[in-house]
Amino acid sequence: MIKKDMKLEKIAAQLKILGNPTRLRVFRFLVRVGTKGAPVGRVQRELSLPGSTLTNHIQRLVNVGLARQERKGVELICTANFTAMRALISYLEDECCLEECD
């Protein structure tokens, strides 16, 4: 049950990170662009965010495993981690919802 609590801690950490409007917008944007991802600059332009603010948010998403960053030349491509997101949703369905939930 120590292990189970570690899972809860991780889930809580991820929810917390998504629980900021700006960051949720960033993550939703990454989801929308799909598996090909988008460079930081594009996210910055399309969401009108200051660079330093955006960097902060993206790093936090990466820290909890909800996004990845990979350099492609000059640009840093960001992608949502769909697997992690699905796992997060599954946890909520399994542990924080009624059995008959859908």
| Per-residue mark of binding to DNA, 10-29 (x: CB under 7 A) | ------x---xxxx------
CB 68 within 8 Å of CB 79: yes
Residue 1 site contact among DNA, its own copies, none (CB < 5 to 8 Å, cut-off depends on kind): none
Q: Is 95 an interacting residue with respect to its own copies (CB under 8 A)?
A: yes
Q: Mapping DSSP to helix (H, G, I), strand (E, B) and coil, where does residue 5 land?
A: helix
Number of residues that bind its own copies (CB under 8 A): 35
Q: Mapping DSSP to helix (H, G, I), strand (E, B) and coil, where does residue 81 land?
A: coil
Rounded to whole angstroms, what are the CA distances from 22 to 28, 48, 56, 67? 10, 11, 11, 15
Q: Is 59 an interacting residue with respect to its own copies (CB under 8 A)?
A: no
Q: Which residues bind its own copies (CB under 8 A)?
A: 8-9, 11-21, 23-25, 27-28, 31, 34-35, 80, 82, 85-86, 88-89, 92-93, 95-98, 101-102
